[in-house]
Chains A and B, each alone.
Chain A
Amino acid sequence: MTGLWPGLPGLVVLVPLLAALAAAVAPTAQMAAWLAFGGATGAFALAAALPWSPEAGLGLLADPLAIHMAVLTAFVAMTGAWVFRRQGLGRHGHVLSCALLAALLLALLADDIALTWAAVAAAVLLLVAALRPAGGTAAWTLFLAGAAALALALLGTLMLALATLPVLGTGLDAVRWTQLADAAPHAHGPMLTLAFVFLLLGYGTLAGLVPLHGGLAAAEGQAPMLGGLGALLPGVALVTLLRARSLLTANPDAMSPGPALLALGLLSLLLAAMALRRQHTAWRFLAVAGGEQVGVVAFAFGLGTGAATFAGMLHLTLLTLLRAAAVQGFAGAAQLKGSADFAALGGLLARHRALGLTLAAALVALAGVPPFGLFTSGFLIVMETTRQAPLLAIPLGLGLAGCAWALAARMGGLCRQAPTPDHGPVPPPIALLPAWLHLAVALWLGLAMPQPMVEWLARIAETFR
Chain B
Amino acid sequence: MLQPDPATVAEGAHLLGGAALALAFALLTRRRLGAMLLVVRAQSVVAAAAAAWQAWAAASGVLAALAVAVLLGGAVALPWMLRRQAEAAAEGPVDAPPVPAAMTAAAALVVLAILAVLPAHLPGLPPLRENLGLALSAVLVALLVLPTRRAALPQLVGLLALANGVALAAIAAGTYLAVPLAIAVVALFGIVAAGLAALPGDAA
Contact = CB atoms under 8 A, between A and B. Distances in A.
Interface of A: 112, 114-115, 117-118, 121, 125, 128-129, 132, 136-137, 139-140, 142-144, 147-148, 150-152, 154-155, 157-159, 161-162, 165-166, 170-172, 174-175, 188, 190-191, 194, 197
**Chain B contact patch, size range:** 35 or more
A188 B122 CA distance: 7
B125 to A, nearest CB: 7
Contact of A121 (B125, B170, B175, B191): B191
Contacts of A136: 200
Given A140-B152, A151-B162, A190-B120, A158 B170 contact: yes
Nearest to A174: B178
Contacts of A155: 136, 139, 166, 169
Contacts, number: 111
Contacts of B77: none
B176 A148 contact: no
B191 A147 contact: yes
B2 to A, nearest CB: 24
A165 B198 contact: no
B122 A158 contact: no
Contact of B125 (A129, A132, A165, A171): A165
Contacts of A161: 173, 178, 181
A166 B124 contact: yes
A297 B16 CA distance: 43
A144 B159 contact: yes
Interface of B: 116-117, 119-120, 122-125, 128, 136, 139, 143, 146, 152, 155, 159, 162-163, 165-166, 169-170, 173, 175-181, 183-185, 187-188, 191-192, 194-195, 197-200
Contacts of A117: 184
Contacts of A114: 178, 180-181, 183-184
A230 to B, nearest CB: 15
Given A115-B180, A148-B146, A172-B180, 14 more contacts: A114-B183, A132-B197, A136-B200, A140-B152, A143-B194, A143-B195, A148-B143, A151-B188, A157-B184, A158-B169, A158-B185, A171-B178, A194-B116, A194-B120
Contacts of A197: 116
B188 A143 contact: no
Given A112-B180, A154-B188, A161-B178, A140 B116 contact: no
B173 A125 contact: no
A162 B200 contact: no
A155 B194 CA distance: 20
A140 B195 CA distance: 8
B180 A151 contact: no
29 contacts: A114-B178, A117-B184, A125-B191, A129-B197, A132-B198, A140-B152, A143-B194, A144-B159, A148-B162, A151-B162, A154-B185, A155-B136, A155-B166, A155-B169, A158-B166, A158-B185, A161-B173, A161-B178, A162-B173, A165-B122, A170-B178, A174-B178, A175-B180, A188-B120, A188-B123, A190-B120, A191-B122, A194-B116, A194-B120
B56 to A, nearest CB: 19
Contacts of A165: 122, 125, 176
A136 B159 CA distance: 21
A47 to B, nearest CB: 25
B139 A190 contact: no
B5 to A, nearest CB: 23
